[in-house]
Amino acid sequence: MGQMATVSVIAVVAVVLVVASLLRRARRGECLVVTRHRRIVRIASGSTTLAVPGFHEVLEWPTGQIEIAVVVRAQTMDGQDVRALATFSVDVDPPRIGAAYIDPRAVLHTALERRIAEAVRARPAATLADERDGLRPAVDGIRIDGLAGGSVMDVVIDEVDLLLHPGRPDEDG
Query: Do 55 and 68 share a structural domain?
Result: no
| Residues 57 and 69 occupy one common structural domain | no
- The predicted-structure confidence for 71-95, as pLDDT tens digits, reads as follows 999 999 998 999 999 999 999 988 8
58/81 same-domain check:
no
The verdict on residue 12 lying in a domain is no
Question: Is residue 82 located within the same domain as residue 150?
Answer: yes
Task: Read off the pLDDT of residues 29-55 as tens digits, 9 standing for 90 and up.
Answer: 888 888 888 899 988 867 778 777 778
pLDDT at 168 over 60: no
Count of CB atoms situated within 10 Å of the CB of 97:
11
Tally of domains within the chain? 2
**19-34 as b/e: b if 16+ CB within 10 A:** eeeeebebeeebbbbb
Domain with residue 71: its CATH number is 3.30.479.30
Choose the final residue of a domain: 63, 89, 116. 63
- Domain holding 159, by residue range, is 64-164
